[in-house]
Structure 1
């Protein structure tokens, strides 16, 4: 059930993109801001991706809200998750808002042919600068409470959920995009704080994305390359039976695993089902040319595919739930 998720450089597919999409090991495409100009253009792009592949793929994006929302313009600005509890004091109302934000984020993407957003962030808000207000809270019980509501909203819209970044990126300062973070905590400390969230929510999410963080008291390699984390703890201890998706193998935090071929092979061996290779088509092609992916991609794709349409945002905005979600957004103070 293993495969590769690639990206494309522009607003439309090139001939090279189309050729890559036909490779049987390509399970999906991740989109970025550079791939978005308008909702109409986005619908054309998602349709062309599926047409070029000639089979079911999963079209993904990082669109969690706050700083990490790839499509703006016609899309609703989703606030950072920490703003929910900072702006509203009632837990009951916080839950309603979290649920509607999950629904709104997912519904707008699905209406434009995008299957899946890598959300929600299940990290604990702590010292990490790259996580920060992307996290729901510094309290694991609050994270569980609000993230579960957000996940319910995603599911109601027709989108599956990915919890990230297992087993927790929030308490380490370094940014794994540009550095190799090391978290010196003991296994007991990690499981009692960050791990509590993943353990509780594992039955409710369909995918997990591990962190490019080294936890040397537990394993010598980053979590995404570690059988100890992915198989012994996530699969066996937490009984997670969904899809494990590597974080981008081109990030600095992944470089300790060697060449891009070696990174892919080690991630697969550790237990990742889908691999992300972003912002480097040459590297993605190298992985396709040199790595043997066990099994077929279809089971993973089927798990993550959403209930997409090409109705567009205009029709969605006519719905009562979309309009009520917009009203709830006014309760959150916004930076924009």
Structure 2
């Protein structure tokens, strides 16, 4: 009954995609279609009804903090409820329901879903077919719970090892490798009937600032950009249905405007590269774009005017006092009204709006497919997908041995594990807390240990036979470097697990053994454990 209802609902929605649908839409309905917003709650609510049936938004973006997103059945019920609201609109247009499910450190759907290592780990396997298989698996799981658009894959070329925002989210620092793995990921999503989104155009890989917090600037010539940052987009644009912008200032393309707000930059994507799909803005509540705009309303108008088709208004705004504040339904209604007003007053052309809406309608018509069978156990977190994640994790490990002979037979040793508290959950789910004959564990808060925590860690390790340290982007934190260095100076057999950016490996040459996983996910942690136990 449930499956038949969902198929009937999808058919009813699609029956409204007539040739004259666009002509029947009001200005207000068309503006609604270009907005993708978040809703609060793990089930449909009055706020959701207000946004879907009042504002008539074209899309919803999911976040853990807003929607729970566990277990899978909850996500499916939420998706079904939201689409039911959309079906009752005059147009009957289905919603684009999106999530950032990149794998690795950015995965909105986790509990109850298959957890995959991220892009850098995939590239470390040297097997691009694994990227296709992982994308297919993630796409299948997303579609099973009603998500029809993934804001992935990341095809930024991470040519700056100190990149504060991309790092292991990228397939690496070589443009051809990124393009090759990105192509396979697109193939996987296509097979899963999942709308994929290349990001972040024109390339977020060589920045020193996080665009969530400020506006990064990329100082490269156009020729240099075309060899590196732009290369994956040029190679893959004709196979992609959507491309997301980056909030960057790239003077070689436009010396004045942030890429999301730059007609010159987006014209390059359309005319030089030849992309004719949907251009999606990165979230317009990010500081990187708001440094050039007086409000989110202004950012939305300018982004649409520049050439963005779908405007993401989801996520949390980082305010001056570093507090996260999300947009409310009132805010979305205000932004919607501001765009309508800009068109009525002639500041923004309705022709530009029409171009965006037609692309969105075409995407919905061609790419939103019916939901699969209701039995989620046949699609989500299957043995096959868990085995795939394990294979990727084990194949991606890179081992650096200096005095590996000092590390052996850990099951017979007293081991002290030192790690940041954000790894406590994943370590507890792995076998690491039982790695030695006896295992002591010390977790320090955050990623910047205090002097007292450094001393406590040393005391904890004092009587250990082997010290095992988890390094999570220590390169960003002098105190994290100090903690690991002070533990290594105790001259005990030592293991450093580099679970995120590989730059950490170069910081600790005195370690007996370093294992890089490029991913702090459970499959990667377990793979490192398995590798150590074999020594």
State TM-score, norm by structure 1: 0.92
Aligned positions of 1:213-292 closer than 5 A: 213-219=248-254, 220-231=256-267, 233-255=268-290, 256-278=292-314, 279-281=326-328, 282-292=330-340
Whether 2:219 is the aligned partner of 1:184: answer yes
Q: What's the offset of the Cα at 1:307?
A: 4.9
- 1:130–1:159 CA distance, 2 compared to 1 (3 A): same
- 1:326–1:193 CA distance, 2 compared to 1 (3 A): closer
Q: What's the offset of the Cα at 1:20?
A: 1.0
> Which structure 1 segments of 5+ residues have no match?
none
State TM-score, norm by structure 2: 0.59
Aligned to 1:212: 247
Aligned to 2:112: 74
Q: What's the offset of the Cα at 1:24?
A: 5.7
Tell me, in whole angstroms, the C-alpha distance in 1 between the residues paired with 2:49 and 2:384.
37
Q: Deviations over 1:270-328 (max 9, x none)?
A: 11110000131233221122213723452343355355335253011597964763563
140, 149, 152: which one pairs with 1:107?
140
Tell me, in whole angstroms, the C-alpha distance in 1 between the residues paired with 2:384 and 2:282.
33
Largest Rg, 1 or 2: 2
Contact 2:52 2:86 in 1 (8 A): yes
- 1:244–1:116 CA distance, 2 compared to 1 (3 A): same
Number of residue pairs aligned between Structure 1 and Structure 2: 330
Task: Identify which of structures 1 and 2 has the higher relative contact order when contacts are C-alpha pairs closer than 8 Å and 6+ apart.
Answer: 1
More divergent stretch after superposition (299-308 vs 57-66): 299-308
Q: Deviations over 1:133-163 (max 9, x none)?
A: 1000100010111111111111111112211
- Please give the secondary structure, in 2, of the residue aligned with 1:253: helix
Tell me, in whole angstroms, the C-alpha distance in 1 between the residues paired with 2:141 and 2:82.
19
Whether 2:234 is the aligned partner of 1:170: answer no
Tell me, in whole angstroms, the C-alpha distance in 1 between the residues paired with 2:335 and 2:167.
33
- Please give the secondary structure, in 2, of the residue aligned with 1:60: strand
Tell me, in whole angstroms, the C-alpha distance in 1 between the residues paired with 2:147 and 2:240.
18
Aligned to 1:44: 77
Contact 1:43 1:310 in 2 (8 A): no
Aligned to 2:63: 32
More divergent stretch after superposition (8-17 vs 305-314): 305-314
> Which structure 2 segments of 5+ residues have no match?
1-29, 315-325, 341-349, 398-516, 523-535
Aligned to 2:53: 22
Tell me, in whole angstroms, the C-alpha distance in 2 between the residues paired with 1:103 and 1:332.
19
Aligned positions of 1:318-329 closer than 5 A: 322=385, 325-326=388-389, 328-329=391-392
Aligned to 1:6: 37
Contact 2:55 2:336 in 1 (8 A): no
Q: What's the offset of the Cα at 1:182?
A: 1.2
